[in-house]
Chains A and B, each alone.
Chain A
């Protein structure tokens, strides 16, 4: 282990978010191994006349106008000629690739990799994913052109573009981008106290202590290649916003017929919710839609955590600093509680805080406006999230969270056998979700459809800056 950690050694989007409103992903295939190595060497040369410079972790006071980062798939490392002795030290899940891990990730049926459109229908050809962050589309174009200017190193298989909405709102109407792990070794003025233990650096970088005391992940050798690298699960997740809003309608109507409805929403309580949302004369049905949305996510759509304010959204409540202890009224099966149970009781006691991920995501497709009437003769535009789920071990973090927590619900016997209400592999014939009531009983919602559909993705290794230089210097 190196003595002092230097953020200049890692790519800039890992430890901190850039908070740029626009992103473009270039899905690239190595066309010429030698030219690709030259390209990689040039991307860290500090000159930048030939190739955009990789943004590093200590960008300092002035954030670059555009940011540029790369991830390599296993096939990409092979295409660059990384020796077999190094390749075989990478973890199985990365070697097999995201397509092969479909069952663990719930990518089955209409989500199965066989249904993914290009370029993800040919996973062996996806070698390098370059990411450009900027304020304007013109800047994205400029960097893209700069990156592909020599025309020799890489073939462009596809490009995906995302654009942030005002106030960090994402599709489904929730405020996102509230929480990320904080790292003890990294100063970050953006982050504030969230009541969770600071994550050891090994949560997100290879070669450092992990969340499991005494456990270390294998660092692919040579040291220059593996140390301070990490892994990214890049996902193209289509979101059925219309289906989600329609489900809220159905669930609200269903709840109005239930005998326990007054316990879930006491008579008159809709006014309090309306007040928090600045909507005068909010109907009981409309308030219940918000109540359901809040339960499914674990946050009201304005970001207020259910754990702190279960009855109504409250802008005064801390959005970050909370826990699931005692009689928390955040549903056990709510999305944010499933993904990160924080300090709450879970079955796998040893796993608290061990599956945390750095998330960098941006919506794609137009913002849905519920006020605008839809034209049923026209197909809805595709909407979704371009998500990056980053951690030092895909198996111990992203996959572990996906297969036992998001789906299956193994962490709490009260949700075992159900899937995540928002992102899970749900089938309306069998799906269910429990809304907890103050009395300790629950109301069960059923027939949740699948709201999120996987449309592509890849496991990528995010090399450190020395590793990019190493790859650029490969011979033979």
Chain B
């Protein structure tokens, strides 16, 4: 008998895959858990590090809900980028620490993804100083954006606002997410139960608090070099 599953075992094991159970979990169980154990959102951006290699080619992932959630709203966002193309290139040139900047519309969000070198606040501040008008044109279309523009006169608040919207980056070693939680809560002791295959409650709740995350901090095909190092090596000036 042992080792053979009876009909009841099969029924219980199959429960999590049933639609009723899944709805129950996401609509009742998870909200109940999160009410019982509030989980704070983890801060966005790259993990602080002193290693030079960790401070090159950092990722910024902004997902910003548009105020106007319609094809017209999306068209306005597309237009804002198109109208500022030259300024964006000029900004990249003068700031000097950016590898790529991408604007993407996903659903009713305008997303800004970029790869930059060095400190995040320096990067955003230098951009404000160079092409603050572009930030203003985009952020104007975003929910809550009016509070921090014109960015030139709200430098500290604007940088903070962007930082708060920068996605949390799940560490490359995914279980380190639990360490980040512990650090955020001032817990020193590692929990011990790190088996992510069990979909631990802590992870589920964290992904409720941080609904959008970056998985890993960007997978590189080569070690970190600065944008200027690449340009210098290619002989195209920096």
Contacts and interface: CB of A to CB of B under 8 A. Distances in A.
Interface stretch (B1-9, B103-111, B113-121, B201-209): B113-121
A260 B33 CA distance: 69
B55 interface: yes
Interface string B104-142: 000000000000011101100110111010000000000
Interface size class of B (residues with CB under 8 A): 35 or more
Contacts of B181: none
A59 interface: no
Contact of A400 (B122, B156, B226): B122
A410 interface: yes
Interface stretch (A25-33, A158-166, A211-219, A446-454): A211-219
B150 to A, nearest CB: 9
B156 A350 contact: no
B30 interface: no
B226 A410 contact: yes
A416 interface: yes
Interface in A400-431: 400, 403-404, 407-410, 412-414, 416-418, 425
Contact of B95 (A91, A104, A350): A350
A416 B229 contact: yes
B44 to A, nearest CB: 14
A413 B232 contact: yes
B118 A404 contact: yes
A408 B229 CA distance: 13
Interface string B43-80: 00000111011011000000000000000000000000
Contact of A350 (B119, B126, B226): B126
Given A408-B55, A416-B229, A348 B152 contact: no
Contacts of A351: 122, 126
Contact of B231 (A91, A104, A399, A413): A413
Interface string A97-123: 000000110101000000000000000
A104 B45 CA distance: 14
A349 B96 contact: yes
Nearest to A89: B156
A410 B118 contact: yes
A93 to B, nearest CB: 9
Given A347-B96, A410-B226, A416 B119 contact: no
Contact of B128 (A215, A400, A425): A215
Contact residues of A: prevailing secondary structure: loop
B84 interface: no
A403 B126 contact: no
Interface residues of A, number: 37
Contacts of B126: 348, 350-351
Interface in A318-354: 346-351, 354
Contacts of B32: none
Given A347-B226, A410-B97, A416-B228, A108 B156 contact: no
A84 interface: no
Given A212-B129, A350-B126, A416-B56, A218 B228 contact: no
Contact of A215 (B117, B119, B152): B152
B187 to A, nearest CB: 17
B88 to A, nearest CB: 15
A404 to B, nearest CB: 4
Contacts of A218: 154-157
A243 interface: no
A413 B230 CA distance: 8
A92 interface: yes
B238 interface: yes
Nearest to A214: B152
A410 B117 contact: yes
Nearest to B224: A417
B83 interface: no
Contact of B94 (A215, A349, A354, A399): A349
12 contacts: A103-B49, A212-B128, A216-B152, A348-B97, A395-B125, A403-B55, A403-B118, A410-B117, A410-B228, A413-B233, A413-B238, A416-B225
Given A349-B96, A410-B228, 10 more contacts: A92-B156, A347-B238, A349-B95, A351-B126, A395-B121, A395-B125, A396-B122, A408-B118, A412-B228, A413-B233
Q: Nearest 3 CB-CB pairs, A to B?
A: A347-B96, A413-B228, A212-B129
